[in-house]
Amino acid sequence: MRVLRFAVVGLINTLVALGVIFAMKWTLSLGDAWANLIGYGFGLIISFALNRRWTFRFQGPSLTAVWKFCGVVLAAYGLNLALVMAAVSSFEVNSYVAQTLGVLPYSLLTYFGFKHLVFSDPPRSATSVSQPM
């Protein structure tokens, strides 16, 4: 069920991010890197809120989660941007297609990062019983 919720959030995120990316490219003639950054920026706000509350139902400290979330997203974004730029410059893939294809590796890395690093339940410590030595 968690994967399905993540997929729904990802779909919302993707539509918003790609819509912003395409709008930035079309209306403002921004380059791929700037359009990508702005699009993913909008998606981050949606992603954190929906994944924290709905996908992973995380009850832990928000500030810690925000910092970890930013780290995972930066790593995923770096991978995404590198792949998009390589596809456009080295393989002459249409930039709109490259932006769309870049969503898959970004999504995989964020899911596993969110699941295992950002919104994971804190480790449960074994109850220790004091015994005399």
Give residue-wise pLDDT tens across range 83-120.
Answer: 999 999 999 999 999 999 998 998 899 999 999 999 99
Q: Where are the alpha helices (DSSP H) in the chain?
A: 2-28, 32-50, 62-89, 95-101, 103-113
Amino acid at 123: P
pLDDT reported for residue 26? 96
| 3-class secondary structure, 31 | coil
